[in-house]
């Protein structure tokens, strides 16, 4: 399969979350760089380095047949001509039930004219006391599917 060209890092990010929701390993690995130094850190398990380990981690997740859905909020981008760092809050539903919030950092690198993921790091949002929650008026998080 020919590798998809992602014109913007945001296109790559949309494809990343869509691949998770579709449990599509081929589409997932199309988002990732072919570089040996790619890193994926899922919550609660050791970091995966390189395409083989990263691919295997996603294969195992997708084989669990858990129906994941994401909505993102508090999206912050830092970007230059070759690197884009995305920090997001992921609201996650499993089989239609809200399960929690992850804080994630996704890093994309422009390689041969296409933006490819080189790092995904997700961790549970720390528990907040009611006094720590700041009420803001904003649109609801976008749904990615």
Residue 65 Ramachandran class (φ > 0 left, ψ -120 to 50 alpha, else beta): left
Q: Does 132 reside within a domain?
A: no
Supply the pTM of this predicted model: 0.83
Q: Does 104 reside within a domain?
A: yes
Which CATH number belongs to the domain containing residue 27 in this structure? 3.10.450.50
Mean per-residue pLDDT, 64-89? 89
In the predicted structure, residue 139 carries a pLDDT above the cut 80: no
How many domains, in total, are found in the chain? Answer: 1
Q: Does 144 reside within a domain?
A: no
Q: What is the pLDDT of residue 68?
A: 84
pLDDT band at 97 (very low <50, low <70, confident <90, very high): confident
> Which residues are CB-contacts of 106 (< 8 A; sequence separation ≥ 6)?
13, 16, 85, 86, 88, 117, 119, 120
Q: Does 70 reside within a domain?
A: yes
pLDDT band at 122 (very low <50, low <70, confident <90, very high): very high
Q: Which domain holds residue 70?
A: 9-125
Q: Does 143 reside within a domain?
A: no
Q: Does 136 reside within a domain?
A: no
């Amino acid at each position: 399969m020919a590798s998809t060209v992602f014109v913007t890092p945001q296109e790559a990010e949309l494809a990343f979350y869509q691949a998770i929701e579709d449990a599509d390993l081929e589409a997932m690995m199309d988002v990732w760089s072919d570089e040996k130094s790619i890193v994926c850190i899922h919550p609660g398990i050791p970091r995966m380095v390189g395409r083989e380990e990263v691919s295997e981690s996603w294969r195992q997740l997708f084989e669990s047949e858990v129906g994941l859905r994401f909505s993102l909020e508090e999206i912050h981008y830092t970007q230059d001509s070759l690197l884009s760092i995305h920090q997001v809050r992921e609201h996650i539903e499993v089989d239609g039930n809200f399960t929690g919030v992850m804080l994630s950092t996704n890093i994309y690198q422009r390689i041969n004219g296409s933006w490819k993921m080189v790092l995904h790091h997700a961790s549970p949002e720390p528990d907040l006391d009611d006094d720590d929650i700041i009420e803001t008026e904003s649109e609801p998080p976008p749904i990615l599917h």
